[in-house]
Structure 1
Amino acid sequence: MAVSFFIRNKKVGTSTLFARIRSSAKNVDIKTSTLLDVDVSAWENSQKSATKRKNFRNDENNKAFIDKLDLIEGTLNSILNSDADITKELVDRRIYDIVYSEQIAAEKERAKAEAMAIEKKQAVNFNGFIERFIHECETGKRKKKGGTTNIAPGTIRSYKGFQSQFKEYQESRLRIVDFPDLTLGFYNDFRQFLIDKSYSPNTIARMIKICKTICYAAEQLKLMDAGNIRSGFEVIYKDVDNVYLTEERIQELYDYDLSDRPAWEKVKDVFVVGCLTGQRVSDYKRISAKMIVTLTDGNRYIKLKQEKTGNIVYILLDYRVEAILNKYNGELPKVYDQKINDRIKEIGEALGWTEIVELDEQRGAMEYTAKKRFCDLLKTHTCRRSLATNMYKAGCSLSSIMAITGHSSEQQLKTYLKLDESEKGMLAAKENYFTRLRIAK
């Protein structure tokens, strides 16, 4: 177990010093740059004897170099002596933090000063507070409610989307909306503004919900009284008719041989994992063999910390998920969300999932019935709906489903349960009342 230093390029002049970290006990042998340059002749000479090494270390001109080198050596030895998994990435990160410690500290001070400047500018009006609220989310100063987890990047993007719509609303109405203006009249007019832009009911509901969230944050700082917002700003979600994959179709998708089309095959495999784990796309795309744990019941589970909520969920490991992970050496292939959305529709079409589905849709004030092919309705979120619906059809309780999906309420979960009327009738037939009756044959 040792840390040593050496020069690769021994030409005249200066050269980068490298570190070698070795441990036979941990099967580690890593070579990497220290990011420090040293005079080749002086370094080589210092390695010839203990006296020359001491003289090199005591040379005042070498003090900054030696201090950082000693810190690197001490840090790397600490890593070797710890229980941490030693990787080149970890070693490089620690070395970078030491070598560029002054620059990192300066950047932190700059960011701190910037944050203080933003805080001074805010608080006098609602637009300023929105800017501060988003900045605090981005910097990690503002955490998720009741926790220590940072706000998810997707959530921050939604906040910025609201900010953009709010600015556009003010421009269209030729006025600035401040804290006292956040009345029921504003609520109705802002909703109408979004309706006129032909947004869907759920997009409008999301904008109102974000507005309320920001107002509650302002109330905590005593910048406003959000009483009328709490009672009058109604968030009206509309149940969207979205499809799901039955167990039979998930199996059909899993069995579909796409070895001659690698790009499609990667999407198919990631999508199947999503359907069998019920997570958001940001979570099921990063499932890996490292997440597999064995619990006291003897079964193996995927232990996953959800990116959006910070919740930890345990998902029973399906043999198909394990097979797909093994296929890719424990790590799912990297695919973009849009590629999944595009290619899963094409895969569905190739499988013949082209039956027509009627959907009740609304854009702005216009409601209509749309007819679309089943395959054209497939998207990343279909996976989450599929597991929730299939579990519910199998008789699982809502609380059991929530333990997997991580939904915070039964009401929220119910929006994911996509059953047609015949499926609902068949589920009702399994209830105790009907099972006591004599069923006609």
Structure 2
Amino acid sequence: MAATFILRTDKTEGDATLFVRIQSRTPKINIRVSTGLEVDIEAWNKSLTSAKALTAFRKEEGKGKGKELYQKLDAISALIDSLIAEGIELTTEIVKSRMNDIVYAEQIEAEKKRQQEEAERLAAEQATNLNGFIEQYINECETGKRKKKGGTLNISPGTIKSYKGFKAQFDLYQTERFKVIDFDDVTVEFYNDFRSFLEDKKYSPNTVARMIKILKTICYAAENLKLIDASNIRTGFEVVYRDVDNVYLTEERIQQLYDLDLSNRPAWDKVRDVFVVGCLTGQRVSDYKRINAKMIVRLTDGHDYIKLKQEKTGNIVYIPLDDRVKAIIDKNGGAMPKVHDQKINDYIKDIGEHLKWTETVAIEEQKGSMEYTANKRFCDMLKTHTCRRSLATNMYKAGSSLSSIMAITGHANEQQLKTYLKLNEAEKSMLAMKDKYFTKLKVAK
């Protein structure tokens, strides 16, 4: 057993938090993590004096007693042994996250029961007004009653979070406008006023567009139940996404990043490995972070591919296996290093600065109705989504067709994909030079 439980306090009475200490020689682990479980200090210390005392403590029933406590501690020990056996690299964050399912099992179960009861109540009493339907719609997404288009996959947690964000803004709009919006009030006049409300809050154009898109999605669902005629919404509620000026890594910079010696910076090294894999596979961060050796398959053309089911869409894509991706997978024991998205966003900027990717880039930005040009360093614009843009752009520069790129990235249509192609005017002109028309001309060198 790799886990032992300790108190880290000088007090001799009262309650204190138990910590789990995880020690292992192979693999090498030595970390301490708070379990979040409180224990009576005197009773705990007494239980450690002998095997008989420990047995007695483990049998004590009642809230805060040893029997209930050790049920959780034994489950935590078994969990840690299982994680080590699976070869998962343990960090404080991973252990804490997985322990919470045990420590707060009762609360989690109670919340699930509450959601189920709420879903049953809403199902029994179909909402007939817009605010009630929005609440019901989100609840059905959370409980799995409402599925993605196609009817087999659950709505992703990220999408549900977006729905809740929309509901919060919709509620605030009604509060500030001193009115309650029902189905009959969803007119073009409302659309224009709701957009103005969001723009006054200084939300970006794409945030406003996302809010309008969610509203339309919910109204279409209500239309299926004949609660609203959504014809005016279908034609009059324009969803206007702005092409965001984001940078991408060229093939040369991806190779420079891959070749960088970070053996003395293990945190940077993990982020670099994950980021390079992202740039060479073109997936969303939720997908490229979980790429592993088990996903590698050989197709009938004799080449190796990564077979991946995309988390957001459920689509299966086959990504040609780059040698650098294979090397990174092997280097990390058959999987990606465990690192949080925010750490990737933070450290990749530092790594970019270390590589002197500090040239100034002029970016057109908009907050609310105000448009302006912001000058930013290239390295400061790097983030998890840069990877997806990098592969799409590099494939396009290399002459790949949009359909070929879509086969890898999983984009639903060319219009979506085109927003990812981040070429400046000079790069676009150099691509045009390769066109058959220009190859017929005599161009000065």
2:5 is matched with none
Distance 1:108 1:200 in 2: 35
- Post-superposition shift, 1:122? 4.6
Within a 5 Å distance, the mapping from 1:297-316 to structure 2 comes to: 297-316=301-320
TM-score, normalised relative to structure 2: 0.74
1:173 is matched with 177
Aligned residue pairs total 342
2:423 is matched with 419
TM-score, normalised relative to structure 1: 0.75
Distance 1:260 1:267 in 2: 13
Q: Which one of 246, 249, 268 corresponds to residue 245 of structure 1?
A: 249
2:349 is matched with 345
Partner amino acid, structure 1, of 2:408? I
Sequence identity percentage: 74
Q: Report the secondary structure of 1:380's partner residue.
A: coil
1:393 is matched with 397
Q: Which one of 115, 118, 141 corresponds to residue 114 of structure 1?
A: 118
**Structure 2, gaps ≥5 residues long:** 1-85, 87-108
Distance 2:248 2:309 in 1: 24
- Post-superposition shift, 1:120? 3.8
2:289 is matched with 285
Q: Report the secondary structure of 1:293's partner residue.
A: strand
Distance 1:326 1:396 in 2: 29
Distance 2:435 2:356 in 1: 34
Q: Which one of 255, 260, 264 corresponds to residue 256 of structure 1?
A: 260
Distance 1:352 1:376 in 2: 11
Distance 1:211 1:109 in 2: 28
- Post-superposition shift, 1:192? 0.2
2:362 is matched with 358
Distance 1:299 1:119, change over 3 A: same
2:217 is matched with 213
Contact 1:130–1:163 (CA under 8 A) maintained in structure 2:
yes
**Structure 1, gaps ≥5 residues long:** 1-86, 88-104
Between structure 1 and structure 2, the one with the greater Rg is 1
Distance 2:113 2:195 in 1: 41
Q: Which one of 190, 200, 209 corresponds to residue 186 of structure 1?
A: 190
1:331 is matched with 335
1:131 aligns with 2:158: no
- Post-superposition shift, 1:438? 1.6
Please give the per-residue CA displacement for 1:122-146, whole angstroms capped at 9, x wherever unaligned: 5221111111111111111111112
Contact 2:272–2:348 (CA under 8 A) maintained in structure 1:
yes
Contact 1:246–1:390 (CA under 8 A) maintained in structure 2:
yes
Please give the per-residue CA displacement for 1:69-113, whole angstroms capped at 9, x wherever unaligned: xxxxxxxxxxxxxxxxxx9xxxxxxxxxxxxxxxxx999987654
1:153 is matched with 157
Within a 5 Å distance, the mapping from 1:32-111 to structure 2 comes to: none
Distance 1:109 1:426 in 2: 60
Contact 1:121–1:128 (CA under 8 A) maintained in structure 2:
no
1:267 is matched with 271
Contact 1:122–1:131 (CA under 8 A) maintained in structure 2:
no
Q: Report the secondary structure of 1:171's partner residue.
A: helix
Pairwise CA RMSD of aligned residues? 2.1
Distance 1:147 1:127 in 2: 24
- Post-superposition shift, 1:257? 0.7
Please give the per-residue CA displacement for 1:382-413, whole angstroms capped at 9, x wherever unaligned: 00000000000000000000000000010010
Distance 1:328 1:106 in 2: 38
Distance 1:199 1:345, change over 3 A: same
Q: Which one of 128, 138, 146 corresponds to residue 142 of structure 1?
A: 146
Distance 1:384 1:122 in 2: 41
Distance 2:283 2:164 in 1: 24
